[in-house]
Amino acid sequence: MSIQIVNMTHTYMPGTPFESTALKEINLQMDQSEFIGMIGHTGSGKSTLVQHINGLLRPTEGKLVVYGIDLSQKNADLKKVRSTVGLVFQYPEHQLFEETVEADIAFGPKNMGVTGEELKERVHEAMRLVGLREDTATRSPFEMSGGQRRRVAIAGVVAMRPQFLILDEPTAGLDPQGREDILRLVQRLHSEGTGVLMVTHNMNDIARIADRVIVIDYGRIRFDGTPREVFSHVDELEEMGLDVPDASKLRRMLKDVMPDFPDDLFDAEGVAAYLLQRMRGDRHDE
Ligand SMILES: Nc1ncnc2c1ncn2[C@@H]1O[C@H](COP(=O)(O)OP(=O)(O)O)[C@@H](O)[C@H]1O
Ligand SMILES: [Mg+2]
């Protein structure tokens, strides 16, 4: 029930003048019990990394084992990998192509051999989970708004019932309500036992909901730990061109006036609780 990556390197177009190494000696172990957030500047290698995990890209060097299937081997069972690990691409709505919402959502599970009543049930369950109304089933995805199309695309992956779900910037470009809905869906799938790896630029979201954060920088892993650990490196993250959670910025400001302010408070509630406790404590001292 896990994903193991050992010394994995990926080079695009090796042996040509365009050769570029996008991942360098990646070592990672990810478990189905986890909710992992992945961050990194544009071009750092996040999409390249996640595409390896469901077999779309092959490691140039190193080893990758997904739920017992060794993807470094040429004859690896890719079909099995893709039904175990679901990948929601960046801007997945650009890849819709069927005439109706239900046909689009059914595409993945149908390819896995699911038919008849079970197929119908999966499509409708997935629609419910992503918050699509029943009466949209027969509509054309192309007549829907961007946010609704994103839901259709995510439902198509959810309908395959993956054990591990990877989402590459699933909330990019959505309005706050759309973003909140997608996050709630992912949290729900995780609480029901699905492993999650979510690539995102939204630091406040990741600080709030992930239990592990991985930071990629120029194809290498720079930090890998709890949000508390990772977001204590405010200055280094900013040097990498990354944003940090608002509470981390607040903490840094407070540290200027309270040099002993703890380094590891990264969420608004933690900062507020500490301040309150401290104000009460100071009053007792008078
Ligand atoms: N199909 C490709 N062919 C050649 N180079 C690529 C390809 N896809 C990505 N790259 C390069 O690999 C690096 C990592 O890209 P990517 O994995 O898309 O990063 P991210 O998702 O973090 O923005 C970048 O330098 C990018 O230009
Ligand atoms: Mg990307």
Please classify residue 134 by burial: count the beta carbons closer than 10 Å to its beta carbon, then call 0-12 exposed, 13-18 middle and 19+ buried.
exposed
Q: Which two tokens stand for residue 224?
A: 């890998």
pLDDT bin (cut points 50, 70, 90) of residue 11 is very high
| Residue 259 included in any domain | yes
Residues, CB within 5 angstroms of ligand 2 (ion): 46-47
b/e 21-54 (16+ beta carbons within 10 angstroms → b): bbbbebebebebebbbbbbbeeebbbbbbbbbbb
Please tell me the pTM assigned to this model: 0.92
Ligand 1: residue whose CA is nearest its atom 2? 12
| Residue 260 included in any domain | yes
For residue 274, what are the domain limits? 245-286
| Residue 258 included in any domain | yes
Measure CA of the first residue to CA of the last residue in the chain; give whole Å: 56
| Residue 281 included in any domain | yes
Question: What is the per-residue pLDDT across 232-285, written as a single tens digit (0 to 9) for each?
Answer: 898 899 999 998 888 888 888 888 888 888 877 777 888 888 889 988 886 655
How is residue 45 annotated by DSSP? S
| Residue 230 included in any domain | no
Q: How many domains does the chain have?
A: 1
Question: What is the per-residue pLDDT across 120-175, written as a single tens digit (0 to 9) for each?
Answer: 999 999 999 999 999 999 999 999 998 899 999 999 999 999 999 999 999 998 88
At 278, the amino acid letter reads R
Name the residue of 23, 46, 48 to mutate for ligand 1: max ligand atoms within 8 A of Cβ.
Answer: 48
| Residue 210 included in any domain | no
pLDDT of residue 283: 60
- Of the listed ligands, the closest to the CA of 218 is 1
φ, ψ at 150 (rounded to 5°): -60, -40
